[in-house]
Structures are given as structure tokens and as C-alpha cells.
Structure 1
Amino acid sequence: MKTPNRPYRSRFATAIFDVLNPVPYGMFVGTLIFDITYAITRNVFWGKGAAWLVTVGLLFAIIPRFINLFHVWLPSRYPRAAGERLDFWLNLLGIIAAILNAFVHSRDAYGMVPLNVVLSVMTVALLSVGQFTLAVSKFRIRESVRE
């Protein structure tokens, strides 16, 4: 009797995810720093820099989210951490906030303040909570495997 082939997590896809997943987070944190600096100084350089950072962060967020989509929602022989689905939804909400932030950055001059700072804080907070949830759930899986 032949056992059915069960899908599994690709090592290559997991490696790509692990390499690219932190990049958007760093870009969005940079966007937050630039937005706060722009709100304080009113120097156009910081506003334009934040617009570029949020755009590049969104471009780098595409590939890890698609890999995460397949890892979380398709059946797998590997154990799925309890927080992976919550991390997926938090990242999705953070990316939606970042998209809105990119549109806010298209406004002229100081018209983007204070909404740009609010959306940047929301994006970074959602991604931070998602990463923390994922780290805790993966730690619990490792501890249960040791026992």
C-alpha cells in the first residue's frame, strides 16, 4: 500500500522567508523614525525619505507574505505553531496600514502630519506583536519536542 505524498515545507522557501522577513520590518521602523523627525523638524528631506522607505518596505514584504501564506494555510507534515496564523493576520493588517501610509505620504508638504506618524506606529506595533507571538509559539514547540 502506497502512502499519499503529503506536502511539506520547502527548505528553500523557508530560507528565503527567513532572509526577507526582517527587511520590511526594518524599513517600517525607519519610516517611523523619519516620520517623527519630519513632524518635529518640518524638513522635506525626512518626509521624502519616509515615503521611499515605506514604498521599499512594501515591495520587500510581498515575497515573505506569499511564502507565509502557503506555509500557514496549506496542510503540512511539520507542526504549525499556534501563533503562525495570528502572525499572518497581524502582518497583513500591518501591511494594509503601510499601504495607507504610502498614500498619505503622497500628500504635499506638511499635509501628511500627523496621520503618517499614526500609521507608522500602527504598522510597527502590528508587526512587532506578530513577531513576538511567532517567537513565543515557536519556543513552545521546541520545548514540547524536548520533553
Structure 2
Amino acid sequence: MAASDDRLFTRAIHPLHAALLAGAVPLFLGGLLSDLAYGNSAEMQWSNFAAWLIAGAMVFTGFALLWAFIAAIRVRFRAGWPLWCFLLLLAAFVLGLVDSFVHARDAWGIMPAAPILSAIVTLVILLAAMIGLASLRAGEAK
């Protein structure tokens, strides 16, 4: 029987990488909800909450991106979940960086760009987490 490289793609995600992926999702979602709350109430503190939540999400996303880069190098950037997870995390990191620059403006100056960017980056990080965490299968971890 011929040897196959399919075993590289069935390898489960490392638990720390899974925690980094899963940790970024609620922080970006909290930033989105804070932006929406600021848009409805004009209470300046919601803008501050959103900025801090996005900064925390960027820390998690940066470490998850580094981990996904190493995982993608290990499989030599072939098609599979490590490559897609890396590309989505890279997009989330770039969009999150732009979103954090938007949140660096004064409170009223962030509208309407901040909730739109926060919604986009939340969707992208959610997709990255779904793809990355889909490789967590009971009984297949080696």
C-alpha cells in the first residue's frame, strides 16, 4: 500500500492554539457589541470598552497567527486547514489592526466605520476559529 500524506491533514490542532483561537472570538464580539452600544447611547465609555476589547483580541490573534504560520510551514503550505486558518487569521489581524486604528480616534470620530469594521473582523475570526477548531476530533489526535 502506498504511503499517503493525508495523515498530515488529520492531525488535530494543539490545545494551546485552540485556546488562542477561541479566546479571540469573544473579544472581537465584545468589541462589536460595545460599538453597537455606543452607537445607540452615545456614552463615550462604550468606545473605550471596544478599544480595549479589540486590543486584547489582537494579542490573542497575533499569537494564534504565529502558531498557524508554524503549523502551515510544517505541512509546507499545502491545501488544508492549517493554510486556510493562517490566511483567515492574517486577514483578521490586518482588519483588526485597522479597526484598532479607527478606535484610536475620538469617540464620535469612530462612527460609522467602527461597527462595520468590527462586524467584518468578527466574522473573519469566527470563520478562522471554525476551520481551526474543526480539526479537533475525539480519537484522532496523535
Relative to the length of structure 1, the TM-score reads 0.75
| Distance in 2 between residues matched to 1:18 and 1:103, nearest whole Å | 27
Query: How far 1:36 moved relative to its partner?
Result: 0.6
Percent identical:
21
Structure 2 residue ranges without an equivalent (≥5): 1-7
| CA contact 2:92–2:124 (8 Å) conserved in 1 | yes
Mapping 1:31-50, distance limit 5 Å: 31-50=31-50
Specify which of 84, 92, 95 is matched with residue 94 of structure 1: 92
Query: What is the CA deviation profile of residues 116-144 of structure 1, one whole-angstrom value per residue up to 9, with x for unaligned ones?
Result: 011101101111222333455x38x88xx
Sort the Cα spacing of 1:59 and 1:133 in 2 relative to 1 into closer, same or farther, 3 A.
Answer: closer
What CA distance in whole angstroms lies between the structure 2 residues aligned with 1:130 and 1:23?
12
Do the aligned partners of 1:31 and 1:120 also contact (CA within 8 Å) in 2?
Answer: yes
TM norm structure 2:
0.77
Q: Deviations over 1:6-44 (max 9, x none)?
A: xx9xxxx92321222211111101000000111111100
| Larger RCO: 1 or 2 (CA < 8 Å, sep 6+) | 2
| 1:67 corresponds to | 67
Cα distance in 2 between the residues matched to 1:64 and 1:111: 30
**Separation in 2 of the partners of 1:81 and 1:131?**
17
Superposition deviation, residue 85 in structure 1: 1.1
Q: Which residue of 1 aligns with 2:58?
A: 58
Distance 1:30 1:42, change over 3 A: same
Cα contact 2:54–2:96 (8 A) shared by 1: yes
Q: Which stretches of structure 1, 4 residues or more, deviate above 4 A after TM superposition?
A: none
Q: Is the 8 A contact 1:81 1:134 kept in 2?
A: no
Report which of the two structures shows the higher radius of gyration computed on alpha carbons: 1
Instruction: Go from structure 1 to structure 2 and tell me whether the alpha carbon gap of 1:31 and 1:21 turns closer, same or farther (over 3 Å shift).
Output: same
Paired with 1:14 and 1:135, the residues of 2 have a C-alpha distance of: 10
RMSD of the alignment, in Å? 2.7
CA 1:62–1:55: 2 relative to 1, 3 Å:
same
Deviations along 1:43-97, whole A, 9 cap, x unmatched? 0010000011101111222222211111122248xxx882331121111101111
Q: In the alignment, what sits opposite 2:107?
A: 109
CA distance, structure 1, for counterparts of residue 64 and residue 97 of structure 2? 16
